[in-house]
Copies of this chain bind each other. A is one copy, B any other.
Amino acid sequence: MQQFSIALAQVNFKVGDIDGNLQLIADSVAAAKAQYDKKKHEKQQHEKDDSALMIVFSELALIGYPPEDLLLRPSLQHRIESALQQVAILSSNVTIVVGYPWHQGGQLFNMAGVWSKGQQIAQYAKRCLPNYQVFDEQRYFTAGDEVCVFDWQGHKVGLTVCEDIWHDQPVTESKAAGAELIININASPFHSGKLQQRHELLANHAQRHQLPIVYVNQVGGQDELVFDGASFVVDANGKLAASLPEHESIVGLVHFDESLLVQNSVIAPEKTKLASIYDTLVLGVRDYIEKNRFKGIVLGLSGGIDSGLTLAIAVDAIGKDRVEAVMMPFKYTSSMSMEDAKLEADALGVSYKVLPIEPMYDAFMHTLKDEFSGLAQDTTEENLQARCRGVMLMAISNKKGSMVLTTGNKSEMAVGYATLYGDMVGGYSALKDVYKTIVFQLSRYRNEVAAAEGEAEIIPERVITRPPSAELAPDQVDEDSLPPYDILDQILEYYIEGDLSVDGIIAKGFASEEVKRITRLVDLSEYKRRQAPVGVRMTARGFGRDRRYPITNGWKAGS
């Protein structure tokens, strides 16, 4: 039995871009080798060295995760075969573990393969295929039915893929087949609190079977999913033995001795809950913009807290020089909002314009005068204001090649307090899965970060403390027609994340009529959400692939 090093390759792949991903793999192999050689060089010349290097990549690394229906393209296998020939060449003096889709016997498998000295030495087909929440793996893949334990450096190494580790069988059977170390390659998207779940889960497996586990996750944003990386190693006692930072592309080397003890226990500091959420939002926005090659971001700044926080995220994602904020006042816009929008834009140093919407609004209303004659004023006029703003932002977006970043939050999207084709326009939404109560917390968090760095306040204090308002009617505030946000968000969380019934929520101590009205609004707003831009998922049930409700829906909320 010999010592060895494992490089955890936490890489930001791009879905579908097999050539680009192969290049990232080659770069990571080179980086791992450089780290490994440096370490070797530091050793005494006379010291015996029988070590070796294994570089571990994430699930479906070659095509990125989730590839969705690209898995049905006819040239998939041909492209993967070509790429794997390159992987084989890269493995001339190292061992490489990599994930890829693979056709065999008329079926498609979610495969992990091991290459060493130019040859493939092992291959494993994922056994547990998730088909819940955002995952549709049974749409594409056939489940494998065998363990894979291969010999390496005199040790027996068991190979597993992502979901496998959330079940008992794959690890238990790998152990029974002789595994002394488990490698688990992942594409595990972030949601708040998930990192702790992963640590606990793997600690349990490790303790129970008395073997170390290496967990490698990809990093980066892919449409609504953000992968947080945070790859790690637990030792045979279940203790965290090494970990890589969240949200960073990085290759981290972990050295094991002959007894499989970790020699260099480098633990990345764990981020606070708010830092983790905030950085996830920034990474999601950055990767959507960069991977889709937008020149920049344009957004509507209202002087309120949602657009203020979204602006900060935009700037942190791609830099102030590529972000443009537009204030579009109307007669209901308060002077406080005008001042605060300007303060926010100035604090971040972004381009800032004021474009009033009266002329367009008046032109529409004039044209529609006959059509509307005899009909009372209602939300139509409010929606029209939001839509004049939406059209303006889209015109700027079209003309300048920048993307509109939508500013709405999850509380609004849940109850439908948002205007389709109005404030809902945009290519991507930063706060789509962030409840208003968390928006407040994130704003304070971002201000604290600024303060700690000696910078000015990003979101003015009074924007955080004054009652939220859409300013679509005189003296309107959100709580005129909604419960206070701390109550609303609890009801929403019980209904959406918790799947509680109306009666179940009332039993938690909320007013019956309020619960009925709020849940009804959630059900009725499905049609709006269906046309909403994608946005970062950061809870265990985001609005997107995660929650698939019919629009036409006769379900009556109740028991």
Residues of A within 8 A of B (CB): 14-20, 64, 66-70, 72-75, 78-79, 131-132, 136, 138-139, 221-223, 287-288, 291-292, 353, 355-357, 359-360, 362-364, 366-368, 371-372, 375, 378-380, 383-384, 387-388, 390-392, 394-396, 398-400, 420-421, 425, 427, 499-501, 504, 527, 530-534, 547-556, 558-559
**In the docked arrangement, what's the CA distance between A355 and B72, Å?**
46
Q: Are B359 and A378 in contact (CB under 8 A)?
A: no
**In the docked arrangement, what's the CA distance between A17 and B556, Å?**
7
Q: Are A70 and B359 in contact (CB under 8 A)?
A: no
**In the docked arrangement, what's the CA distance between A548 and B288, Å?**
18
Chain B residues within 8 Å of A75, by CB: 501, 558-559
**In the docked arrangement, what's the CA distance between A291 and B530, Å?**
17
Q: Are A368 and B387 in contact (CB under 8 A)?
A: no
Copies of this protein in the assembly total 2
**Which of A19, A20, A69, A366 neighbours the largest number of chain B CB atoms within 10 Å of its CB?**
A69
Q: Are A384 and B390 in contact (CB under 8 A)?
A: no
Closest 5 CB pairs of A and B: A17-B554, A16-B555, A380-B398, A359-B363, A16-B554
Q: Are B500 and A74 in contact (CB under 8 A)?
A: yes
Chain B residues within 8 Å of A421, by CB: 390-391, 394, 421, 425
A340 to chain B, nearest CB (A): 22
Chain B residues within 8 Å of A396, by CB: 368, 371
Chain B residues within 8 Å of A390, by CB: 421
**In the docked arrangement, what's the CA distance between A73 and B504, Å?**
11
Q: Are A73 and B360 in contact (CB under 8 A)?
A: no
Which one of B355, B499, B552 contacts A292 once the chains associate, using CB atoms below 8 Å?
Answer: B552
**In the docked arrangement, what's the CA distance between A132 and B141, Å?**
11
Can you identify 10 A-B contacts, CB atoms within 8 angstroms? A64-B554, A73-B499, A75-B558, A222-B550, A288-B552, A291-B552, A372-B399, A383-B395, A391-B391, A394-B420
Which one of B131, B291, B499, B504 contacts A72 once the chains associate, using CB atoms below 8 Å?
Answer: B499
Q: Are A534 and B554 in contact (CB under 8 A)?
A: no
Q: Are B291 and A554 in contact (CB under 8 A)?
A: yes
Known A359-B367, A366-B359, A421-B421: A534·B549 in contact at CB below 8 Å: no
Q: Are A552 and B355 in contact (CB under 8 A)?
A: no
Q: Are A364 and B391 in contact (CB under 8 A)?
A: yes
Q: Are B363 and A549 in contact (CB under 8 A)?
A: no
Chain B residues within 8 Å of A387, by CB: 391, 394-395
Q: Are A375 and B359 in contact (CB under 8 A)?
A: no
Which one of B68, B74, B136 contacts A501 once the chains associate, using CB atoms below 8 Å?
Answer: B74
A67 to chain B, nearest CB (A): 7
Q: Are A70 and B371 in contact (CB under 8 A)?
A: no
A14-B554, A17-B556, A18-B555 known, 6 other contacts, Cβ within 8 Å: A131-B139, A355-B367, A360-B360, A360-B364, A383-B395, A420-B425
Q: Are A499 and B70 in contact (CB under 8 A)?
A: no
A112 to chain B, nearest CB (A): 22
Q: Are A552 and B368 in contact (CB under 8 A)?
A: no
Q: Which residue of B lies closest to A16 (CB)?
A: B555
